Structure 1
Amino acid sequence: MTASLILLAAGVLLFEAVWTQTGHPANSWWKTLSGELASRPVDDVWVLTGAAVAAALGLLLIVLALTPGLRRVLPLRVPADSGGPIDAELDRKGAALLLRDAAMRVPGVSAARVTLRRRRVKVRADVRFRDTSDVKADLTEAVDREAHDSLGLARPPKPVIRVHRTPA
């Protein structure tokens, strides 16, 4: 939100500067602002205060951009009878391991790799025996059941299943 406001203010200033440089009459606020900035010395208290605020705001935006946030955790479903607000989260790597274990329990799967995102879970499985379409159907059911029932995620991810046969 702060970055959007700064972008909007910078865009208005840039537009007004280009507008006046192309021969159009300047607005009164632009004349006042440019007159004040031209008449004040660099060591004026208001100029130094404005520079300090701009620097602090820039540093805050850099810190916010570099913080990871909650990308590595998935929110869990809260039971209706809990009585109050509960914040429960599950680590994404742990959830991916549980889904991989569920995929490995499907008959015919010899290896499975799981990538878990917020909205989608990608499962790539190697099939040693059985028909790949049967394994894919069983794998979709197993991963979907595990994501909905066992993990208890607030928004269960949509499974994307890819299977391929490995030579025996």
Structure 2
Amino acid sequence: MKRRPRRSVPALLTALVLLAGCVLVTVVTVQLILGERPWISYDAVAATLHDLHWTDLLPAVAGGVLALLGLVLLLAAVLPGAATVLPLDGLFDSGAARGGYRSTLRAAAAGVDGVSAARVKLRTRRVKVRVETSRTQPDGLTDAVRAAVTDRLDRIGPATRPAVAVRVRAPRRTS
């Protein structure tokens, strides 16, 4: 069970641009049918485009921008995003939400004596834990946080076991 995120933002932006273009064409067409002066004159657009050459700067820049936009949309559609539900090991097809997974690991790290704040980043094969402490000598804190997070991972039981990396941030020594 690896649910992937929906590509809502690229799809929404593409739909809005296409909708705006369709609305513009529809309004200009209705204005022409009714015999009114259109917002955009077809003759002016055709004359401007007729005067441009392929070797001019404007068509090259516009083509490059449109090609880059198309490539970005294609990559957004093809490349997988981060899983929103991470699979768990067990008899049943089950998973843990990414936010809940992160917050329970953060709570395990923050529960260690001497930790004042903890941040957790989930990667594909690694969990990065960054803790802050007010201790001036944080000896052994890295191992204690790693043990707490590893214990919590044992309780959760992920399908693929990530490696745990811990960094401790302590105030400078004033000796």
Equivalent residue pairs, number: 101
Q: Is the 8 A contact 1:114 1:123 kept in 2?
A: yes
Distance in 2 (alpha carbons) for counterparts of 1:101 and 1:163? 16
User: RCO higher in 1 or 2 (8 Å CA, sep ≥ 6)?
Assistant: 2
Query: In the superposition, relative to structure 1, how do residues 108 and 156 fare at CA in structure 2: closer, same or farther (>3 Å)?
Result: same
Q: How far did 1:101 drift?
A: 0.3
Query: In the superposition, relative to structure 1, how do residues 138 and 67 fare at CA in structure 2: closer, same or farther (>3 Å)?
Result: same
Deviation digits for residues 47-94 of structure 1 (CA, Å, limit 9, x no counterpart): xxxxxxxxxxxxxx9598268666122100114xxxxxx321111111
Q: Structure 1 residue 153 and structure 2 residue 158: aligned?
A: yes
Distance in 2 (alpha carbons) for counterparts of 1:70 and 1:161? 22
For residue 144 of structure 1, the aligned residue among 136, 150, 170 is 150
Structure 2 residue identity aligned to 1:72: T
Q: Is the 8 A contact 2:127 2:164 kept in 1?
A: yes
**Aligned residue runs from structure 1 range 112-123, under 5 A:** 112-123=118-129
Structure 1 stretches (4+) deviating beyond 6 angstroms?
none
RMSD across aligned positions (CA): 2.7
Q: Is the 8 A contact 1:96 1:115 kept in 2?
A: yes
Deviation digits for residues 83-113 of structure 1 (CA, Å, limit 9, x no counterpart): xxx3211111110100000001100000001
Q: Is the 8 A contact 2:128 2:165 kept in 1?
A: yes
| 2:141 match | 135
Query: In the superposition, relative to structure 1, how do residues 130 and 68 fare at CA in structure 2: closer, same or farther (>3 Å)?
Result: same
Query: In the superposition, relative to structure 1, how do residues 91 and 67 fare at CA in structure 2: closer, same or farther (>3 Å)?
Result: farther
In structure 1, the gaps of 5 or more residues are 1-60, 80-85
Deviation digits for residues 15-58 of structure 1 (CA, Å, limit 9, x no counterpart): xxxxxxxxxxxxxxxxxxxxxxxxxxxxxxxxxxxxxxxxxxxx
Structure 1 residue identity aligned to 2:83: R
| 2:111 match | 105
Query: In the superposition, relative to structure 1, how do residues 64 and 112 fare at CA in structure 2: closer, same or farther (>3 Å)?
Result: closer
In structure 2, the gaps of 5 or more residues are 1-72
Structure 1 residue identity aligned to 2:103: L
Query: In the superposition, relative to structure 1, how do residues 67 and 135 fare at CA in structure 2: closer, same or farther (>3 Å)?
Result: same
Distance in 1 (alpha carbons) for counterparts of 2:144 and 2:136? 11
For residue 72 of structure 1, the aligned residue among 84, 96, 99 is 84
